[in-house]
Amino acid sequence: MTINIQQQQQQQQQQQHQQTEKEEIWSTILSNVASSRMVPTKRVLVLGDPATGKSTLIHFLKNDPGPQVVQADNDDVPTSFGVNNNYVPLPVENLDDDTRSTLALGYNMIDVQDEENEAIARLGVYQLGLSASEYLPLLKFALSTDTLADSCVIILLDWTRPWSFLESLQRWIHVVEHRINEICKDGSAGETWSRGKAIVDELREKVEHYLQTYTEPVTTNPLNVTTSTSTGSVPSTPNTATSTNFPTAAASATAPLVTTTTSADQVTLPLSQGTLTNNLGIPIIVVCTKSDATNMLDQTMDYKDEHFDFIQQMLRCVCMKYGAALFYTSTLQPYTFHNLRQYILHRLLSTPTKPYPFNMKAQVIERDVVLVPSGWDSWGKLRVLREGFDCEAVNQGWDTDMDAVTDRQQPGAHGARGIYEEVISDPLAKDQ
């Protein structure tokens, strides 16, 4: 009788153990499913005139070309900092059909994957067809009160038409300002306070804090690549402290190759003169596409270094006002799109507790691969590039121009656009 009782107890214990194991298995499965569904979704609004390269940009957001391949001094074999050594640039006609959008508001969903092809984030990429007022109501589907905190704006300018840079930039900045003002009115009902304005004010503080705590990445130099000058300018080549294998997007989030600091270690510095005078509360990235066209401008239109430096100074001065980053890209140098892609992910995926580092230093010397992260620039660095640039006049002239744009008036000759177009004139203008 005693033996039977013991056998029953053992059977019960075995059944309980098996039941516990099943529950643990199901718990693990459910946990994995839940975590897989918690992939963050971020939004990217791409703005730019027709044929500025929006489809190409989206193609490279989908298909990361990898970092720059660097020639080692002691070897004829190129050393790659990326995993995609055999990448060949694709012509525009071979781009994905769904990216060649002519819709009033185009949309693409892009999965950002880690080394194991697991999605770590999703990007909802919106394209506005034109900057005309009839298109502006569509922006509510791209940027809203609920999604603004998880969004960034990319404004594309085309290097085949550099004389249009300021006019185009003013027009698209006005589009963004219009949408932010609409969000500020969300839920107001005639009151001075609104839910939308509270969110925008909070995001403005976030943008300001990002600029105030920006520190340039600290890297070593294993391959004798030119290091930073006093202005922080280096070739757009990543350097690693322990390895020449550059991680993918996910790996860089968990194993940064640069020195990072926690929020407790960050030093908050006052903003320099001319920085974030126009705070829209959203990360903005100005991208000058087709930068290989600088060679054509040099050869056929007699552009000199003075012209390219002046263009860069104007763009950087304006970008500083909005806390915007500046990137030059070219399909002949696909790594420029990789750098841009990494920066977009850095701005969208970084959190106070888990930074997604961007390990590239600013580069303002090589005219076709300029890279200026938000928070790096200053008027002093602008003047180092070439003396005689009047930062104050451009800063004030831009605000005057934007007032005119808001009032649907033509900016005057003495504003920032007038200063720019006096030097970089349209060769097809009738009065030339």
Of 112-121, 288-297, 387-396, which gets the smallest average pLDDT?
112-121
What is the average per-residue pLDDT within 352-365?
92
Full 3-state SS string of the chain: CHHHHHHHHHHHHHHHHHHHHHHHHHHHHHHHHHHHCCCCEEEEEEEECCCCCHHHHHHHHHCCCCCCEEECCCCCCEEECCCCCCCCCCCHHHCCHHHCCCCCEEEEEEEEECCCCCEEEEEEEEEECCCCHHHHHHHHHCCCCCCHHHEEEEEEEECCCHHHHHHHHHHHHHHHHHHHHHHHCCCCCCCCCCHHHHHHHHHHHHHHHHHHCCCCCCCCCCCCCCCCCCCCCCCCCCCCCCCCCCCCHHHHHHCCCCCCCCCCCCCCCCCCCCCCCCCCCCCEEEEEECCCHHHHHHHHCCCCHHHHHHHHHHHHHHHHHHCCEEEECECCECHHHHHHHHHHHHHHHCCCCCCCCCCCCCECCCCCCCEECCCCCCHHHHHHHCCCCCHHHHHHHHHHHHHHHHCCCCCCCCCHHHHHHHHCCCCCCCCC
Average pLDDT over the chain, rounded to an integer? 82
- Assess whether pLDDT exceeds 50 at residue 83: no
Q: What is the mean pLDDT of residues 100-126?
A: 87
Tell me: pLDDT of 219 over 90. Answer: no
Most confident of 2-11, 112-121, 160-169: 160-169
pLDDT at 279: 98
Confidence label for 277 from pLDDT (cuts 50, 70 and 90): very high
pLDDT reported for residue 430: 53
Joined together, the tokens standing for residue 246 give 């550059």
Distances (CA, A) of 180 to 100, 139, 199: 27, 10, 11
| CATH value at residue 42 | 3.40.50.300
pLDDT tens per residue, range 245-275: 334 433 443 333 333 445 555 678 889 999 9
109 assigned to some structural domain? yes
Find the mean pLDDT for residues 358-375: 96
The more confident residue out of 159 and 1 is 159
Domain assignment present for 353: yes
Is residue 19, in this structure, part of any structural domain at all? no
Is 323 inside any structural domain? yes
Q: How many domains does the chain have?
A: 1
Q: Is pLDDT above 90 for 214?
A: yes
- The answer on pLDDT for 366 being more than 60 is yes
- In a domain? residue 205: yes
In a domain, 30, yes or no: no
* Low-confidence winner among 119-123, 185-189, 213-217, 411-415 (lowest mean pLDDT): 185-189
Per the domain annotation, does 2 fall within a domain? no
Residue 2 has a pLDDT of 56
Share of the chain above pLDDT 90, in %: 60
Q: What is the pTM for the complete model shown?
A: 0.79
**Is pLDDT above 60 for 335?**
yes
- Identify the pLDDT of residue 188: 66
| Residue 136 or residue 263, greater confidence | 136
Identify whether 284 is part of a domain.
yes
**Domain assignment of residue 57, given as a range:** 38-423
Which pLDDT score, from 0 to 100, does residue 236 have? 37
- Residues with Cβ within 8 Å of 75's Cβ and at least 6 positions away in sequence, in order, are none
Residue 320 has pLDDT above 60, yes or no: yes
The answer to whether the beta carbons of residues 174 and 411 sit under 8 Å apart is: no
- Tell me the mean pLDDT in the region 177-190: 86
Give 164's pLDDT tier (boundaries 50, 70, 90).
very high
